[in-house]
Chain A
């Protein structure tokens, strides 16, 4: 039995639950039979992937749902073999080039070359182009993005590229300008609640409105997380009660505790403890942007507006340096150390002002 998230995912543009005008636009786009390269972006759990798959189905028919997993092997100039998993149908191929780490450039180039060099034999019955779907484009190295921009132009006759990213800030302008950007915003709380109710109805369960509301709030308007949380709630206790606990992802709780530790004491010794926790997070594969973001949110809660601005500025600076550097832990720690210093000054000033 698959998860609710996969089971109740809308499969066509008509069945989407929210952003309906956008869905109509997408439909019109596809109905013309051709479209430019696309760049879908928006927060995680907003439905980017769902829309892309619905779009492909609209374009090629139900054939795109017959997926097969394939392992592709690329050889780097230094003769190293890089294996990357791809998901493909007859009409499209999906790949996450950031799996290849620093060799992502070679993956992007080879993949597009391989699949775009062949033309469709019979263009009467089908579209004359294939679709290449690249996910997590914002995690691509600059090198790979530059390679992508060149290949995109070269093979425009035989393939369309759909890019999927969380944020466009990490995508180079050259790529942005070659694509039609489509922003998929996170659903509003009401929309999340509505979807949750809908899913529960299909499952034959009754979901109290209060609980749905709470799940929506805890999920940060991330629909995927909301549905998963709902399913986890069902596993813990059914029938639902309005006051039942909603479990959050463990790393979110962990990050919140880390922020509490930072606020509790500002000494080099505490920073050492925090470093241990950061290592733990990194080992568990929590992306650094998530760490930065949740820390700012949590730390920002206990300071005033002026300081908030400075924290955000600091975080931006260190995150930028982190992208240019190689050892993420240096920059994460530098951010926390600088926050500690700033916060200590802030508290001391507050104490002095009282007397």
Chain B
């Protein structure tokens, strides 16, 4: 019944706006869930405010290798009779969608994009039958997009791009897996999923799903500083040249943000030096810059100092960025710190702070303040005490887990001391060793 509803608003868009299909099929967007009553509204590409988008792959600031990777996947799309899913991950503004679109336009692949519209259908108590869940809308979109082709370019291959996975799947990944598994059976379905959130990507695509589906993954890195600068120069060739450095540094590899702030600068006209400064002092104007755990460990363990003895990185800042997983951070620090210390007196002082940090961490486990306090104590202890760090690359190890071998056998003896004595010496007594060979073989000997 409801598959008769006109879904693809392309047909209703006034012809003057229609792009020439050879030039730019990527604008050939379909609005998946347009409401029947107002079909003319919408279809507005979010990037349209940008002065100029990259048209060819040479305009892209993404790593060449990455582009080739995606190109080879798209080659697979062009071949008939196969099904594939591409998972693109990376921070916002690193050019995931842009790369995909540019390559598709070069290779003449139709891009159909899922644009979720929250208010397209509100729940109407009088007309319950009309209500459709997000999940089924998504399902329907995919089935339509794969089955029915646009009349104008019916023969070309199609690629469905999903930028925001509907929230219902975030809550219930298993239904999402089911859906993907269903579509991986159908030939000629090509899905590209774009996710910015790494933990989300992990929960939606656990290892067993990755292996069971025809899934290819590609993760994008933030755009390099040079890349941002080049792109900005190309976009705004004449004006604002002196501010490029500041804006590029403050955007943390988010090209979209960089361009937006540049536009803002240009429109305001008042380009103050303050803006430039704050850009240089990093992270103040933009979002909080996130340090991943290895960066944090590196900064703590190989603490850098300026000429006047001041620390380059602020231990408080580092400590406070790991409050969500304090135990992992202290564990990693402990496992790796010995390799970077050259003097045992420093080790003594540093290990003492670590011991203190652990005590604090356990004392008021639930309070955020004590967590960050203990992390700050640990990180500043290591940074300040290490008078002569060994600056050499070393592999970082994970904290070891201690599995107590005795636990399994504890209950056979009345207490731990009895167990220890009996096991250590009973080994030598033949009658005991015979009766308890399993226990002794499990426990092994200390060497």
Residues of A participating in the B interface, judged by any CB pair closer than 8 Å:
1, 3, 5, 44-45, 49, 84-85, 87, 94, 96, 99, 135-136, 139, 164, 166, 222, 224-225, 228-229, 231-232, 235-236, 247, 249-254, 266-269, 271-272, 275, 279-287, 290, 318, 321-322, 324-327, 329-331, 333-334, 337-338, 340-342, 344-345
Contact = CB atoms under 8 A, between A and B. Distances in A.
Contact of B420 (A3, A247, A269, A285): A285
Given A222-B421, A271-B344, A334 B338 contact: no
Interface string B362-393: 11000000000000000000000000000000
Contacts of B406: 284-285
Interface in B211-257: none
A326 B362 contact: yes
B415 A327 contact: no
Contacts of A341: 344-345, 347-349
A235 B344 CA distance: 46
Main SS class of interface, B: helix
A22 B362 CA distance: 42
A166 B330 CA distance: 32
Nearest to B342: A268
A3 B338 contact: no
B359 interface: yes
Given A1-B431, A136-B415, A284 B425 contact: no
B362 A282 contact: no
Interface residues of B, number: 58
Residue among B330, B350, B426, B429 with max Cβ neighbours from chain A (10 Å): B429
Residue among B334, B410, B420 with max Cβ neighbours from chain A (10 Å): B420
Nearest to A235: B429
A135 B411 CA distance: 12
10 contacts: A5-B422, A49-B415, A229-B425, A232-B425, A236-B428, A268-B342, A285-B406, A327-B327, A341-B345, A344-B344
B426 A329 contact: no
A279 B359 contact: no
B4 interface: no
Given A285-B406, A329-B402, A3 B355 contact: no
Residue among A139, A285, A321 with max Cβ neighbours from chain B (10 Å): A285
Given A271-B347, A330-B334, A334-B354, A285 B342 contact: no
B404 A330 contact: no
A31 B70 CA distance: 88
A282 to B, nearest CB: 5
Interface in B323-368: 327, 330-331, 334, 338-339, 341-345, 347-352, 354-356, 358-359, 361-363
Interface of B: 327, 330-331, 334, 338-339, 341-345, 347-352, 354-356, 358-359, 361-363, 400, 402-407, 410-412, 414-422, 424-432, 443-447
A283 B344 contact: no
Contacts of A340: 344, 347-348
Contacts of A249: 420-421, 424-425
Given A232-B429, A268-B347, A3 B422 contact: yes
A231 B429 contact: yes
A269 B338 CA distance: 7
A210 to B, nearest CB: 20
Contacts of B443: 284
A338 B348 contact: yes
B358 A327 contact: yes
Contact of A272 (B338, B343, B361, B362): B338
A164 B414 CA distance: 11
Top 10 A-B residue pairs of the complex, sorted by shortest distance between their CB atoms? A285-B406, A85-B411, A249-B424, A341-B348, A232-B428, A334-B351, A325-B358, A228-B425, A44-B417, A334-B355
Contacts of B405: 283-285
Contacts of A94: 414
Nearest to B443: A284
Contacts of B407: 285
Nearest to A340: B344
A228 B426 contact: yes
Contact of B402 (A44, A279, A324): A279
B415 A135 contact: yes
A117 B348 CA distance: 53
Given A283-B404, A326-B327, A327-B330, 17 more contacts: A5-B422, A49-B414, A96-B411, A225-B421, A228-B426, A231-B425, A231-B429, A249-B420, A250-B446, A251-B424, A268-B341, A275-B338, A324-B363, A330-B354, A340-B344, A341-B345, A341-B347
